[in-house]
């Protein structure tokens, strides 16, 4: 197949298996592995439980990716997971998923990672801020509480500039956006592995920080299930983005073979990288200190390199987060594009750019909404309602494997999920328990996620029953 074959949607099938794998890795490795260990350590107060949380979250993510890979091998249309839901469950579920991707899941993810990009860039530049009085301006949202859009506005403004710049990069071509992604992802994997190696060689740490005989504090022991569930939410945030590659499957060469490969390889690479870097963190700094260090990567680098360490790790995180935002923007805009082409969204969003052959309008709308979400909260707040919404649909997507085995038994499956039906069933049950635990343990952020999803209902009714009639 030629490198720039045009698809029936007016897009370009130009991404290789390497680009697809780097899209999986690059979309997952962003800010989470540098930011989440602190809050996870605070919740668990145990080095063994901290590493276990990363392994458990990685294992379930891998099961989810392998389950998804079977469906990805069957259906290779642009829009990925949205198209899978359409085939499995029909228009309503597909629309609510696509709406959620735009309303909160991917745009919220882009907003929160861009905020971290901006925070670390702020290590080198002091941003101007509004006066205390102006920063206190708030907007009340029922069931959620007050949000403060003008608080820490300098950081948010730089995050928004990052979002708009990368939207522009992807507006001018998927192959260019994919090339940027591949280069940045190789750089970030290398920088994390090098940091881990230097931590073990020069960190003057102790293996007793990593293994202490599974001693657990009394507080953690009493609330073990809830605390481990919350810590998993942090780890899942760092693993999130694995299915982004499915959104651009219509633009990947030989997608029925390469998308499942990219899902498996990408998720496995990330799991290994995360466990290694967290072992390195713990080797240098005990878990009690990690709990007090929101920028744990910088703290470890300062131990190894001295004062310049913070600057070195900040640069690595700037590159890492920049790449993660790029990967998410590149892939996600294809969902609204596919919805519009199915006459379930604004018609204009389904048009490809005549020159650049990218979903231009879809990219613009996505960039604007993620910029608005940037104003709604801090990194941790946004990530918590994103991860809740994501796992609602991850569980539903895994259940879809059972649906398609029954509904389309004769459709060729280049890849079949290993351990069927046990592994997909475990994943579905785990998703239900995880979502339930989040509703109980983190109610306000779960409510924010549900509100943003529910806002899609009137739009669905309009496009399905009113807008579609106008189009005929």
CA distances from 140 to 35, 105, 130, 441 (A): 28, 22, 20, 22
143-163: burial string, b at 16+ Cβ within 10 Å, e else: ebeeebeebbbebbbbbbebb
Report the alpha-carbon distance of residue 271 to residue 32 in Å, rounded. Answer: 13
Identify the bridge partners of residue 140 per DSSP, sorted by sequence position: 146
Report the 10 Å Cβ neighbour count for 201: 9
Report the alpha-carbon distance of residue 22 to residue 262 in Å, rounded. Answer: 8
Instruction: Classify domain 5-471 by CATH number.
Output: 1.20.1740.10
DSSP state string for 53-75: HHHHHHHHHHHHHHHHHHHHHH-
Report the 10 Å Cβ neighbour count for 7: 16
Q: Each residue's pLDDT tens digit in the chain (472 positions)? A: 344 565 555 566 777 888 889 989 988 888 788 888 999 998 888 889 999 999 999 999 999 998 988 998 888 777 878 999 999 999 999 999 999 888 878 888 899 889 889 988 988 888 888 788 887 877 776 655 677 777 888 889 999 999 999 999 888 876 777 788 888 888 889 989 998 999 999 888 788 878 776 666 666 666 778 888 888 888 988 898 888 888 777 778 888 888 888 999 999 999 999 999 999 999 999 988 998 887 788 888 888 888 888 888 888 889 889 988 988 898 888 888 889 888 888 888 888 877 877 788 899 999 999 998 888 866 566 666 677 778 889 999 999 999 999 999 999 888 899 899 999 999 999 999 888 887 887 777 778 778 878 888 998 998 887 765 655 4
Tokens representing 34 are 């540098």
Identify the bridge partners of residue 6 per DSSP, sorted by sequence position: 12
Identify the bridge partners of residue 12 per DSSP, sorted by sequence position: 6
Report the alpha-carbon distance of residue 269 to residue 294 in Å, rounded. Answer: 25
Report the 10 Å Cβ neighbour count for 420: 15
- Contact call for residues 301 and 312 (beta carbons, < 8 A): yes
In three-state secondary structure terms, 147 is: strand
């Amino acid at each position: 197949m030629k490198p720039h074959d045009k698809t029936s949607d007016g897009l370009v099938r130009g991404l290789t298996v390497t680009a697809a794998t780097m899209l999986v890795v690059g979309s997952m490795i962003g800010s989470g592995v540098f930011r989440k260990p602190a809050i996870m350590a605070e919740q668990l107060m145990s080095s063994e439980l901290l590493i276990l949380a990363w392994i458990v979250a990685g294992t379930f993510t891998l099961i989810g990716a392998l389950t998804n890979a079977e469906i990805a091998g069957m259906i290779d249309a642009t829009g990925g997971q949205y198209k899978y839901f359409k085939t499995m469950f029909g228009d309503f579920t597909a629309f609510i998923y696509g709406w959620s991707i735009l309303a909160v899941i991917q745009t919220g993810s882009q907003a929160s990672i861009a905020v971290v990009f901006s925070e670390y860039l702020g290590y080198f530049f002091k941003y101007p801020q509004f006066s205390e009085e102006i920063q206190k301006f708030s907007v009340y949202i029922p069931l959620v509480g007050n949000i403060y859009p003008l608080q820490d506005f300098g950081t948010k403004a730089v995050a928004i500039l990052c979002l708009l710049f990368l939207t522009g990069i992807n507006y001018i071509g998927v192959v260019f956006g994919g090339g940027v992604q591949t280069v940045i992802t190789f750089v970030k994997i290398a920088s994390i592995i090098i940091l881990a190696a230097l931590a073990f060689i020069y960190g003057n740490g102790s293996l007793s920080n990593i293994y202490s005989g599974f001693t657990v504090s009394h507080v953690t022991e009493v609330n073990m299930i809830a605390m481990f569930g919350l810590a998993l939410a942090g780890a899942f945030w760092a693993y999130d983005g694995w299915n982004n590659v499915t959104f651009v499957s219509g633009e990947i060469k030989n997608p029925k073979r390469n998308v499942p490969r990219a899902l498996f390889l990408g998720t496995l690479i990330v799991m290994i990288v995360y466990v290694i870097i967290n072992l390195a963190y713990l080797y240098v700094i005990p878990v009690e200190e990690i709990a007090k260090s929101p920028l744990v990567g910088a703290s470890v680098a300062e131990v190894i390199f001295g004062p310049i360490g913070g600057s070195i790790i900040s640069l690595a995180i700037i590159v890492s987060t920049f790449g993660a935002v790029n990967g998410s923007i590149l892939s996600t805009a294809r969902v609204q594009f596919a919805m519009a082409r199915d006459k379930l969204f604004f018609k204009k969003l389904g048009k490809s750019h005549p020159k650049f052959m990218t979903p231009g309008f879809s990219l613009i709308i996505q960039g604007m909404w993620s910029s608005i979400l940037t104003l709604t909260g801090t990194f941790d707040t946004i990530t918590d309602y994103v991860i809740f919404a994501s796992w609602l649909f991850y569980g539903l997507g895994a259940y879809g494997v059972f649906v398609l085995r029954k509904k389309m038994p004769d459709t060729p499956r280049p890849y079949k999920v290993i351990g069927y039906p046990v592994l997909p069933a475990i994943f579905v049950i785990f998703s239900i328990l995880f979502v339930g635990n989040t509703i109980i343990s983190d109610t306000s952020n779960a409510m924010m996620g549900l509100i943003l999803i529910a806002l899609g209902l009137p739009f669905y009714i309009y496009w399905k029953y009113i807008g579609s009639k106008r189009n005929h």
